[in-house]
Amino acid sequence: MEFLSQVINGLGIGSIYALVALGYSMVYGIVQLINFAHGDIIMVGAYTVFVILVMMNLPLWLAVLGSILFCGVAGVLIERIAYRRLLVHEAPRISLLITAIGVSIFLQNLYQLLFGSDPKSMPKMFAFAPLQFGGVQLTSSTIINISVSVVMMAGLQLMVNKMKIGKAMRATSEDAGAAKLMGINTNTTIAFTFGIGSALAAVGAVLYCNTYPQIKPVMGGLLGLKAFVAAVLGGIGSIPGAMLGGYLLGVAESLTNAYISSNLTDAVVFGILIIVLLVKPTGLLGKNTREKV
């Protein structure tokens, strides 16, 4: 029963990784950019919740909605200001990567300037009695995390496969030049992808604040890296892969904490990344692609 409890707890934290990994996968699938500033969008979302819920003392639903909207707009602005010109002029990928790291450092220092470097405490947002199934106890945060992540993935899959904007995203991902010839505004499609990915990160930030009620300006660094590992593990560019990678990474963390040592958790996470890159670089659900020359 203890093993099962650890697995379920791992799925709870893995759900947060999965939501953030979805943003990585969506952006990479469209423009082949590893947006290392994406982890800091979680921090932006967490501080938005803190401002609305704690400092302004407004209702929880408004804090959640405000965080999602603010992060979505922030994602669009970051794409427009930091990445658009590089993408239009087909800059080398190393230039995009350096820019992403620069945006990450900028956001961390901006929020340290605005709120200070001291951690801020968050109130418990979604609290109800734990549920018992046999000898396994499910906490409210675990139930909410898993439920929300599954709903978000299902909604995202539906949008990508059935809606017009989703078809535009797939067309831009396959061949941006051909998509333009078919009348698709690829710039708008890319900006929309950044916005949706950032909104998902805001949802992850809300779940993170509910699970770990303390925030700080550098919180997105390690969390973003772990979500990136989850995206690579599942197959970066794949929506189901991002979810699978997040869940597996969360379970691996939980089992390491319980049966090995909490000091080795990060070592196990990045060890998994190394093994995946050596054995199956495309990830568990990733596809091999050929480049035409």
Strand partners, 131: 138
- Tell me the CATH number at 154: 1.10.3470
| C-alpha distances out from residue 48 to 139, 183, 184, 215, 245, Å | 25, 37, 33, 11, 27
Beta strands in the chain (DSSP E): 120-121, 131-133, 136-138, 214-215
**What total number of domains does the chain contain?**
1
Please report whether residue 100 resides in a domain.
yes
DSSP secondary structure letters along 152-175:
HHHHHHHHHHHSHHHHHHHHHHH-
Please report whether residue 259 resides in a domain.
yes
Separation CA 293–CA 287 (nearest Å): 19
Please report whether residue 290 resides in a domain.
no
DSSP secondary structure letters along 95-148:
HHHHHHHHHHHHHHHHHHHHH-SS-EE----S--PPEEETTEEE-HHHHHHHHH
Please report whether residue 93 resides in a domain.
yes
Please report whether residue 97 resides in a domain.
yes
| Of 1-5, 77-81, 186-190, 243-247, the least confident | 1-5
pLDDT (mean) for 27-33: 83
Token pair for residue 143? 């139930």
Confidence of residue 288 (pLDDT cuts 50, 70, 90): low
pLDDT digits (tens, 9 = 90+) for 55-69: 999 999 999 999 999
Indicate if the pLDDT at residue 289 is higher than 70: no
**The pLDDT value given to residue 115:** 92
212: which DSSP letter? Answer: S
pTM of the predicted model over 0.75: yes
| Of 26-35, 37-46, 238-247, the least confident | 26-35
Separation CA 114–CA 43 (nearest Å): 13
Owning domain of residue 250: 2-279
**The pLDDT value given to residue 291:** 45
